[in-house]
Structure 1
Amino acid sequence: MSAPLRLGTRRSTLAMAQSQMVADAVAAASGRAVELVPIVSEGDVNRASLSQLGGRGVFANGLREALAADRCDFLVHSLKDLPTVQPEGLVIAATPPREDARDVVVTRDGTPLGSLAPGSRVGTGSPRRIAQALRHNPRLDIHDIRGNVDSRLARVRDGELDAVILAAAGISRLGGDLGGLQAEALGLAEWPTAPGQGSLAIETRSDIDPEVHAALAELDDEDTRVAITAERVVLNALDAGCSAPVGTHASLAGGDLRLRAVVYALDGSQRIGIDRTVRLAPGYGGETGSGNGADAADDGGPIARAARAGREAARRLLERGAADLVPRESTT
């Protein structure tokens, strides 16, 4: 009997829950048992603000070190926490089908974010969410918080905060129980989220047993990979960290990739946005919408076209002054 495959994961309740979902799917695909290997990341022990931690992969580095040292066979990451530069010797073997990419505002009584009273205390540790919240309602009192989903919800339930902003996918993966609190889903057109939000990444070593790699690859969803490629290329081309005030969302419809990217000032006072629509379906060339036709002859396939769309979106954002708004990171 083959030895169990070892899945490296952060120790948080959410990480363990989503890793168990992947473990069950990999076990079915490979015919081998999969055991979870909890690993402590820097982000789990360093309680500094996310804006101070920046884009240094604090939720990924410890896991990747364990993978490279053969203490596990593959990892499961929340893709939004993963730096855009792929380390040598490691590969993303699969991106399973994406869940809800939206953010939600959780309150005690369901008051929408834009209608919260002046001075309402809203908790989030994300510079992007802070900027977006202040743009929607400049009267808010933003509290920079860390902690797991349950602890954040408890701070609303106990009255310490009036609202928190969370990822819809995280709540869903934990069962969706808000314990009597109310959630307002924020539309992606006006509130684009972190590149890759709602997606998971299954990462392994490039020299892993081909049969293991093939089993992991069975979980890959091409539409998800195309969309997150465009989003993450925007972030990479802007030279911005994972926690920068950048919101992106890409979706596929009718053979088209529709990409929205917005860069915010940290205080929400300014934003620069762009929309692009790129034709992906085989047999079609060129672009529609805001494109200029530069990719019309591109035949590199959907992933290559998505990457080009992301680079072009970033270029146009920079031309419009995005560099003045985005904190730069050399280790994205």
Structure 2
Amino acid sequence: MTLRIGTRGSALALAQTGHVADALTAATGEDVEIVTVTTQGDTSRESLSTIGGTGVFVNALRDALLDGACDLVVHSLKDLPTAPAEGFTIAAMPMREDPRDALCASDDRSLDDLPQGARIGTGSPRRIAQLKRIRPDLEVVDIRGNIDTRLRRIDDDLDAVVLAAAGLTRLGRLDAVTGLFDLDTWPTAPGQGALAIECLDDDESSIAGSIALLDHAPSRWQATAERAVLRRLEAGCSAPVGAAAWLDDEDLVLQAAVYSLDGTEMIHLESRAEGFSGDGHGRELLQAADALGVSLADELIEAGAADLAPLGGAA
């Protein structure tokens, strides 16, 4: 049996899907074929909020599953909408890569070392707000394109860019990093650094079971809590919201922040839940992680988060 894995055609998507393919072969002994799927998010140069948000990377991959062109697909979890999709299931989340954001700047400079009025590139409203909060003098430039395209703009028309450390790691480009932002002061996109392996939930073969061998419980707990914050807030890709979860012994710690678009205001809260230990693949701990995220989102709403950013969940 050959397992066909659908993926976007970007260098990063192919790299991370290659890691999944190797892991599947090692775990199951099955041959694997990678099927490249073109999405609207890959062909458009407009901002994500203009063309419909992160879902533009997902729909074509799901269509490929429905059409039988592939048996499973690999998503960057932060691209996956938080609402459940009928007919599909996330069969596994492999061990998460570094969820932090990374600064890539000319002359090996840190954020503090950038000159007054420096031009820094990012396409994320959250990162814009976080940058403006720390350095209101910066000129933040909206950029799109793959990692190499963004890095080439350093020393061309930009002084620096902010990228996900996970993508740089998977592409072997950590040499470009001049600084990493701490999660407790700079929470990132919910699910950043994690992958979601998705298949049809009515599949009667052993595909879902084979994929489940790659599931990493702590990564799923963390991502579940973070994405529950986003889901409860009903915050789209244009809302400056960050969330970060990690394990502290057997406690799942979750921090989340909502920013005003200009970064001048912020609500940043933390909560934790106990009992996250053992093999952890059961539904009970996933439900507890989800409840932690929902509870923290409710606290953010009560603290006035809807006054800072467009949040449908606070209506």
TM above 0.5: yes
Question: How big is the shift at 1:282?
Answer: 6.8
Give 2:308's match in structure 1, choosing from 318, 325, 328: 325
For 2:85, the equivalent position in structure 1 comes to: 87
Contact 1:55 1:329 in 2 (8 A): no
Aligned residue identity for 1:325: L
Aligned residue identity for 2:163: L
**2:299 is equivalent to residue 306 of structure 1:** no
What secondary structure does 1:62 align onto? helix
For 1:235, the equivalent position in structure 2 comes to: 230
TM-score normalized with structure 1 length? 0.89
TM-score normalized with structure 2 length? 0.94
RMSD of equivalent CA atoms: 1.8
The sequence identity of aligned pairs, in percent, is 50
Measured against aligned partners, the alpha-carbon deviations of 1:28-63 in whole angstroms (never above 9, x if no partner) come to 222221111111111111211134345351111111
Count of aligned positions: 310
The 10-residue stretch of structure 1 (251-260 or 41-50) with the greater mean CA deviation from structure 2: 41-50
For 2:209, the equivalent position in structure 1 comes to: 214
For 1:169, the equivalent position in structure 2 comes to: 166
What secondary structure does 1:35 align onto? strand
Rounded to whole Å, the distance in 2 between the matches of 1:278 and 1:70 is 41
Rounded to whole Å, the distance in 1 between the matches of 2:304 and 2:207 is 45
Aligned residue identity for 2:131: A
Contact 2:48 2:237 in 1 (8 A): no
Rounded to whole Å, the distance in 2 between the matches of 1:314 and 1:177 is 33
What secondary structure does 1:58 align onto? helix
Cα distance, 1:145–1:206 mapped onto 2, change above 3 Å: same
Considering fraction of residues, name the structure with more helix: 2
Aligned residue identity for 1:237: R
Question: How big is the shift at 1:266?
Answer: 1.1
For 1:261, the equivalent position in structure 2 comes to: 256
Cα distance, 1:245–1:251 mapped onto 2, change above 3 Å: same
Question: How big is the shift at 1:327?
Answer: 2.5
Gap regions ≥5 residues in structure 1: 284-298
Cα distance, 1:139–1:261 mapped onto 2, change above 3 Å: same
Rounded to whole Å, the distance in 2 between the matches of 1:277 and 1:60 is 31
Measured against aligned partners, the alpha-carbon deviations of 1:161-183 in whole angstroms (never above 9, x if no partner) come to 100000001000001354xx442
Rounded to whole Å, the distance in 2 between the matches of 1:270 and 1:36 is 45
What secondary structure does 1:235 align onto? helix
Give 1:185's match in structure 2, choosing from 163, 167, 180: 180
Rounded to whole Å, the distance in 1 between the matches of 2:139 and 2:196 is 34
For 2:125, the equivalent position in structure 1 comes to: 127
Rounded to whole Å, the distance in 2 between the matches of 1:62 and 1:21 is 21
Aligned residue identity for 1:191: W
Give 1:202's match in structure 2, choosing from 190, 197, 218: 197
